[in-house]
Amino acid sequence: MKKLFIAVLLITLLLILASCGAKQKMEEKITEKIVEKTLGANVDIDGEEVTFKGEDGEEVTFGSTEWPDSEAGKKIPEFKKGKVTSAVNSKGYVFVMLEEVDEDDFKAYYEDIKSKYTEDSYESKYEGVISYSGGNTEGIIVGLSYSTEDKSLTIQATMPEESE
C-alpha cells in the first residue's frame, strides 16, 4: 500500500511539473550538464536558444530569432524586413538567416552594404542566388546571399580578431 501511494504521488508530481513547464526546464538543465561535461564549456539552454561560454569568457549563442545584439551585430546595418529564423551571435561573428524577404527590400540592403563594404569585394549572380562579400576600413567583412526563388537571405559578418 505504501509503495502504491508513493508511485501515485510521484506520478502526480510529474504531471504537475509537466503541466507548468517545469519539466522542460528540468530537461534543459539536464541537457546543459551533459553538454558541459562533454565539451568542457558552460552551456545555457533557454527554449530554442543555446549559449556556450568558453573558458576565455567568449560567448556564442545559437538559435535566436532576434537580430544579434553583440558587438559584431551592432557594427553592420540591421536588416529590418523579413523574418529572422535563426541567428548565431558572438562578439566577433554573426550569422543571420531570414525568410519572407521581398526582393526590393533585399536590393535596398544590398546597395547599402555595397556602398559601405567596398574593400576586396566580390559579387555573384547565379541561378537565382545573388551574393556579395566585402570589407571596410575597420576590417569588418560582410557577406550576403539571397535566393530569389524562396526569398531567403543569409547575412554574415566577421570582425578582425583583437591583437593581444
Report DSSP letters for 111-139, one per residue.
HHHHHH--EEEEEEEETTEEEEEEE-TT-
Read off the pTM: 0.70
Report helix, strand or coil for 102. Answer: coil
d(CA 79, CA 7): 54
For the chain (164 residues), the mean pLDDT of every run of 10, in chain order, is 42 45 50 50 64 69 80 91 88 90 96 95 92 93 94 92 60
DSSP, res 159 = P
CA angle 138, 141, 143 (to 5 degrees): 155
Q: Where are the domains of the chain?
A: 1-40, 55-158
